[in-house]
Amino acid sequence: MMYNPQYEAMPREQLRQLQLERLQKTVRRVYDNVPFYRKKLQEKGIEPGDVKTLDDLKLLPFTVKQDLRDNYPFGLFAEPMSEVVRVHASSGTTGKPTVVGYTQNDINTWSELIARCVAMAGGSKGDVVQVAYGYGLFTGGLGLHYGAERLGATVIPISGGNTKRQLMLMEDFGTTILCCTPSYALFLAEEAGDFGVDLVNGKLKAGIFGAEPWSEKMRDELEKSLGIKAYNIYGLSEIMGPGVSMECECQCGMHVMEDYFIPEVIDPQTGETLPYGSKGEIVFTTITKEAFPLLRYRTRDISVLTEEKCECGRTFVRMDRVMGRTDDMLIIRGVNVFPSQIESVLLNFGETEPHYLLVVDRQGTLDTLEVLVEVSEKMFSDEVRKLEELEKKLGHEIASILGISARIKLVEPRTIPRSEGKAKRVIDKREL
Amino acid sequence: MKVQQISVFLENKSGRLAELTDVLGKAGINIRALSIADTSDFGILRLIVNKPEDAFRILKEDGFSVSITDVIAVEVQDEPGGLAKVLGILQSAGINIEYLYAFLEKSSNDALVVFRVEQIDEAVDLLAKHNVNVVKGSDVYKL
C-alpha cells in the first residue's frame, strides 16, 4: 500500500523537476542563513543562482561529520532556535555528541516519511505498532512513533529492553507490527518460547528493522521464527533519522524518499560522483529541511543505488543493504561506536599511548563488546583489588561514553597485534 | 629489613608462566618463593628471587608488566599456632595485611612467611618488639 502515491509514484521527470526546485531553495537558504555554508560556497565561487540543473549538485561542497562537530551544538542550524521544536543527538567520537534540530515542518515531514514506511510494511489505520527502538536522544523511537501515529495506527511506545514486558504486551495488545533492531527481534523470538508466547501463530505480521546491519540470512530467520515479513529501514539522524529509505513489499532494496533527499554515490577516495549501479559511499542532500539542512552529507555508508523500475510502482531509486563503512565505525546493539571513543577514555586515565582492541561478537542473538586493554606499567598494581577496581572504572567510563556496556579485559603488554606500526583496533566476529 | 618482591601481570592463558620462568632461568635467576593471585581473567605472580633488580630489568625488557614491591620476610615458629601468634601481633596494632605466602625453604628451624602490609616500618618495629625475627633482604636472596 502506498501512503502517498502522488509523490511515491511520481514520474521521474516530474520528480527531478521537483528536486531541482527544492534543491535551489535549499542552497539559497543555507547561503543566506548558515555562515558555514556561505563561506564554503563562496570559497568554491558558487552563488545560489548557479544551480541550474540537478547535475550542478556536483559543484556543491561536501559536508562531513567533522563539520557537525566543529559547529557544535547549533552552528549549522538554518533557523533561529525559537523555530526549533526538537533536537536529537547521537554520541560523538570524542565526547561531544552530534546535534540535529527540527522545526515543526521538519517533524511533519519526518512523520510523513515514517507513515510511508509503515505503509510499505503493510501497515494502516487499525494496526498496532510496537515501537521497541530506544526513545530519547536517539532518533529511532520517536521517529517511528510520530509516523505510525500519522498513519493512524495504534502505537505502543514501549522503547527498548524489558523483554518479558515486550512479549506480554505484544500478546495482550495484539501487536501487528514490531519496530526494533533486527538482533533484538531475533532475541525476542528466542525468548518467546521461554515465556510461552506463540509469535508465529499470533497477530504479528511485519517487522520494521534497522539501526544496524543485517543480512538475508537473518531475514529468513526472522520471518520464520516470528511468522512475519521483515523489512529493512534505513536512516541517520544527520539527514532525518529512520525513514530516509525503506523496503517496499518487494523487499528488493530500500526506496530513497527522493522528494525529500537527493542521494548520490561517490568514490570515497576521490569524491567523484559514480553512476547508478556502482558501489560507493552514499551521500545525501536534504532538500526540504528547515532547521538542519545538509548539502551532500557523506554518510560513510557503502552501498549501491539502482534506478531500475520496481514492481511496487514506486519510482524512487532503491538503495542496497549497507555493505560496509568507509571509516571504522561499528554498530553494536544498534549503537554507533567508534574505536577512538575508547581511546579517549584511556587517555583520560592518563595513558599516553593506549593499546586496546575491541572484540565484537554475537552470543546467541545479542551483540557483545569486549575491550582488551594492555596493562601499562602505570596501570599495573601488585594488588588484585586495585586491578579489579581499574577494570570496573574503565568499564563504567566506557559505558557512559558509548551508551552500551562493555566487558573490560586487562591483557599483557605487547599482546595486542600491531600491523605496520599501527595497532589493529577491532575484531568483529559477528556473522550476520 | 625489607625484601624486594617482583610482581608480574599475567593473563590467564596457557604457557605464560612457563615462558616467564624460562626467561628467568636462562638469565640465571633463581626463584626463592612465589605465589599467584588470580581472577578469572588475569593473575599477579609474586616472586622472591636471588637477584630482584636483574629480574625486574630482564622481565621488563621481555615486555612483561612488572613492578617491585617491598615486603617483609618473617620467621614464624613451625608449630601449631605459630602463624596465629604473628598475625595476632599485627592485628592488635591495626596493621592490615594485603597478602602473605610461605617460603618452601627455611632460614632456620622456623618457617619463613612473606607479608605485604601497608605500614612496613611499623610492622617491622612491632614484630621486633615481640621478639619475632624479620629476616633481612640480603639474607633472603641468599637462601
Nearest chain B Cα distance for residue A412, angstroms: 6
Considering only CB atoms, B11 lies closest to which of A377, A384, A411, namely A411
Task: Enter the ipTM.
Answer: 0.84
Q: Do A205 and A154 reside in the same domain of the chain?
A: yes
Helix segments in A121-195, DSSP class H = 139-151, 163-172, 182-194
Each of the 432 residues of chain A gets a pLDDT tens digit; together they read 899 999 999 999 999 999 999 999 999 999 999 999 999 999 999 999 999 999 999 999 999 999 999 999 999 999 999 999 999 998 765 667 899 999 999 999 999 999 999 999 999 999 999 999 999 999 999 999 999 999 999 999 999 999 999 999 999 999 999 999 998 999 999 899 888 999 999 999 999 999 988 999 899 999 999 999 999 999 999 999 999 999 999 999 999 999 999 999 999 999 999 999 999 999 999 999 999 999 999 999 999 999 999 999 999 999 999 999 998 899 998 888 988 888 888 888 877 778 899 999 998 888 999 999 999 888 898 889 999 999 999 999 999 888 889 999 999 988 887 765 556 789 999 987
Measured between CA atoms, how close is B109 to chain A, in angstroms? 30
**CB-based contact A284:A294 (threshold 8 Å):** yes
| Contact check, Cβ <8 Å, B99/A383 | yes
**Shortest alpha-carbon distance between residue B65 and chain A (Å):** 6
CB B48 within 8 A of CB B32: yes
Residue range(s) defining the domain that contains residue A274: 5-327
C-alpha span between B4 and B68 (Å, rounded): 6
Whether A235 and A340 map to the same domain: the answer is no
B16 touching A, CB under 8 A? Answer: yes
A-chain residues near B16 (CB < 8 A): 412
Q: What is the CATH number of the domain that holds A350?
A: 3.30.300.30
Phi, psi (rounded to 5 degrees) for A74: -115, 10
Note whether B139 contacts A: Cβ–Cβ < 8 A. Answer: no
Query: Rounded to a whole number, what is the distance in Å from the CA of B142 to chain A's nearest CA?
Result: 24
CA distance A281 to A274: 9
Q: How far apart are CA A371 and CA A390, in angstroms?
A: 13
Instruction: Determine the pLDDT at residue A213.
Output: 86
Interface contact A274, partner B, CB < 8 A:
no
CA nearest A87: which of A108, A71, A69, A106? A106
What does each C-alpha distance from A231 to A65, A141, A150, A248, A427 come to in angstroms? 28, 17, 19, 8, 28
Q: Is residue B9 within 8 angstroms of chain A, CB to CB? A: yes
CA distance B39 to chain A (A): 8
A359 and chain B in contact, CB less than 8 A: no
Q: Is A387 touching B (CB cutoff 8 A)? A: yes
For residues B13 and A211, give the distance between their C-alpha atoms in angstroms, rounded to a whole number: 37
The reported pLDDT for the residue numbered A3 is 97
Q: Record the cell numbers describing residue A158, joined without a space.
A: 514501549
* DSSP-assigned letter for residue B74: E
Q: Which of A269, A296, A327 is the last residue of a domain?
A: A327
pLDDT tens digits along B81-138: 999 999 999 999 999 999 999 987 776 788 899 999 989 999 999 999 999 999 999 8
Task: State the distance between the two ends of chain A, measured CA to CA, in whole angstroms.
Answer: 30
Query: Of all helices (H) and strands (E), which one includes residue A301?
Result: strand A297-306
- Among A265, A295, A327, identify where a domain stops: A327
Residues 6 or more apart in contact with residue A419 via CB below 8 angstroms: none
Domains within chain B, CATH numbers bracketed: 2-70 (3.30.2130.10), 71-142 (3.30.2130.10)
Return the amino acid letter for A255.
Answer: H
Distance CA A117, CA B72 (A): 72
**What is the DSSP code string of A321-383?**
PP-EESS--EEETTEEE-HHHHHHHHHHTT-SS--EEEEEEEETTEEEEEEEEE--TTT--S-
Are both A157 and A22 inside the same structural domain? yes
A243 — alpha (psi -120 to 50), left (phi > 0) or beta?
left
At residue A420, the pLDDT reads 56
pLDDT of residue A276: 96
Q: Which residues pair with A303 in a beta bridge?
A: A280
Q: Are residue A304 and residue A410 in the same domain, yes or no?
A: no
**What's the maximum distance between 2 C-alpha atoms anywhere in chain A?**
73
**Closest approach of B43 to chain A, Cα-based (Å):** 8
Among the partner residues A375, A383, A409, nearest to B65 by beta-carbon distance: A375
When divided into structural domains, chain A yields a total of 2
Q: Are residues A310 and A340 in the same domain?
A: no
Is the domain of A70 the same as that of A13?
yes
Contact A376 B65 (CB under 8 A): yes
Instruction: List chain A residues with CB under 8 Å of B11.
Output: 410-412, 415
What pLDDT does residue A94 have? 60
**Does B40 lie at the interface with A, CB-CB under 8 angstroms?**
no
> How far separated are the first and last CA of chain B, in Å rounded?
15
Q: Evaluate if residue B9 carries a pLDDT over 90.
A: yes
Find the residue in B nearest to A382 (Cα).
Answer: B7
Q: Report d(CA B133, CA B129) in Å as an integer.
A: 10
Closest-CA residue to A15 (of A340, A235, A262): A262
CA-wise closest residue to B11 among B34, B35, B31, B40: B40
Closest-CA residue in chain A for B97? Answer: A383
Q: Which of B13, B41, B60, B116 to mutate to test the interface with A (most CBs of A within 10 A)?
A: B41
Cβ–Cβ gap B65/A380 under 8 Å: yes
A181 with A319, same domain? Answer: yes
**B98 to A377: CB separation less than 8 angstroms, yes or no:** no
* Chain B environment of A375 (Cβ under 8 Å): 9, 65
Instruction: Please check whether residues A234 and A123 belong to one and the same domain.
Output: yes
Where residue A68 falls (left for φ over 0; alpha for ψ -120 to 50; beta otherwise) is alpha
Q: Is B4 on the interface with A (CB under 8 A)?
A: no
Residue A74's Cβ-count burial label (10 Å; 0-12, 13-18, 19+) is middle
Same domain, yes or no: A79 and A121 = yes
What does the mean pLDDT of chain B come to?
A: 92
Omega within 30 of 0 (cis) for the link into A35: no
Contacts of A414 in chain B (CB under 8 A): 63
One domain, residues A166 and A252: yes
pLDDT exceeds cutoff 70 at B62: yes
Residues in chain B closer than 8 A to A387 (CB atoms): 9, 39, 42, 44
Cβ separation of B16 and A384 shorter than 8 Å?
no
Place of cell 633463581: B30
The three cell numbers locating residue A134:
530506544
Domain with residue A54: its CATH number is 3.40.50.12780
Query: Are residue A378 and residue A237 in the same domain, yes or no?
Result: no
Please say which residue of A281, A301, A327 terminates a domain. A327
Q: Are residues A409 and A274 part of one domain?
A: no
DSSP element (H, E) containing A23 = helix A12-33
Distance CA A231, CA A1 (A): 14
Judge whether B41 is closer than 8 Å to chain A, CB to CB.
yes
